[in-house]
Amino acid sequence: MMGRPVILIVDDEISNIEMIGAVLEDSYEVRFARSGEEALLQARATPPDLVLLDIVMPGMDGYELCRRLKQDEVLADVPVIFTTGLFKPEDEVRGFEAGAIDYVTKPIQPLVLQSRVRNHVELKRMRDQLADLAMTDALTGLGNRRLLEKLLPSEARRLARDGDWLSYLMLDIDFFKQFNDIYGHPKGDDCLRAVADQIRAAMRRSNDVGLRYGGEEFACILPKTDPPSALHVAESMRRQVEELAIPHSRSKISPFVTVSIGVASGRCIHGLSEELWITTADAMLYECKRTGRNQTAG
């Protein structure tokens, strides 16, 4: 969440929107929608940090909108608080069943609403932080294996719509065990960070992602990238690492730290397992190692 958190108020009555907006506008960026349909369009265009939702509205009611938000891949985690005139326990239970995080009845008590909104915005921020942390490698700051396992299938699915190219790179540092043995693990960690920085710098397009697969192995996901372009990225990455000129006296092939990179490229098709990219890149990486290291293959 950057800047002021965005609150989307959904209510068919303008006086309710004005009243709730006035309570929150000092601390939040307030947006509003007059119907469920309008709210769904708005939220998809610019996801809010929290939704305040009326239940009784013509057309799509609040329960239905809440369910739709919870089914949306991007919006599912946005907290929804019902603000409603319906006060019966069964109405409230329906609200929670639809996926709401809280339920406030009208007439609104301004200070109570402020407190509840503040708590839920803060909890959402902490959940987002934890989710980021869970997907980040602590040593290099790159995405980790967990992020790879989430991103690769979702990218493959997205690209399958147009049968687009997906390229996948698997990078492995050469003779890294010997590097640790002679220079020690702290220097080994510095080396991993330096290689990670080169990988990050090589991710030129907005959807390119470099990740730490584990140990001294890294992966890159390059959407809409054909085989020659992927090999080009890999080759330039290999050269950039070599040009760091990190001394490695125990490498059998170079005075410096080098890497080998296996490349897998294919057009995405619905139902094709993304494992194919991993096993292919692995096989190509093995070829690089077998035939000398410090090279790329695809």
Residues that bind Mg ion (CB under 5 A): 12, 54, 56-57, 172-173, 176, 216-217
Beta strand spans in 16-124 (E): 29-33, 50-53, 80-84, 102-105
- Of 57-65, 166-174, 203-211, 234-242, the segment contacting ligand GH3 by CB under 6 A is 166-174
Q: Toward ligand GH3, which CB reaches closer, 66 or 297?
A: 297
- Of 12-20, 39-47, 104-112, 170-178, the segment contacting ligand GH3 by CB under 6 A is 170-178
Nearest to 257 by CA among 177, 144, 145, 141: 177
Contacts (CB under 6 A) with ligand GH3, residues 112-141: 139
Which of 29, 90, 216, 217 is labelled catalytic? 216
Beta strand spans in 66-216 (E): 80-84, 102-105, 165-173, 209-214
Sign of the alpha-carbon torsion through 50, 55, 57, 62: positive
Q: Toward ligand GH3, which CB reaches closer, 170 or 230?
A: 170
Considering CB distances under 5 to 8 angstroms, the limit depending on partner class, which of Mg ion, ligand GH3, none binds residue 56?
Answer: Mg ion
Give backbone dihedrals phi and psi of 129, rounded to 5 degrees, phi first: -60, -45
- How many CB atoms are closer than 10 A to CB 99? 17
Closest contact distance (angstroms) between CB of 241 and ligand GH3 is 13
Contacts 24+ apart (CB under 8 A), 73-77: 74/44, 74/47, 75/43, 75/44, 75/47, 77/124, 77/127, 77/128
- Kindly tell me which residue out of 102, 174, 208, 274 binds ligand GH3, with binding defined by CB under 6 A: 174
Contacts (CB under 6 A) with ligand GH3, residues 260-279: none
Considering CB distances under 5 to 8 angstroms, the limit depending on partner class, which of Mg ion, ligand GH3, none binds residue 180?
Answer: ligand GH3
- Kindly tell me which residue out of 44, 127, 150, 177 binds ligand GH3, with binding defined by CB under 6 A: 177
Q: Cβ neighbours of residue 211 under 8 Å, at least 6 residues apart? A: 137, 142, 143, 144, 145, 147, 148, 151, 218, 219, 220, 221
Q: Is 173 in the site for ligand GH3 (CB under 6 A)?
A: yes
Residues that bind ligand GH3 (CB under 6 A): 139, 172-178, 180, 185, 188-189, 192, 215-216, 289, 293
Q: Which positions are catalytic?
A: 216
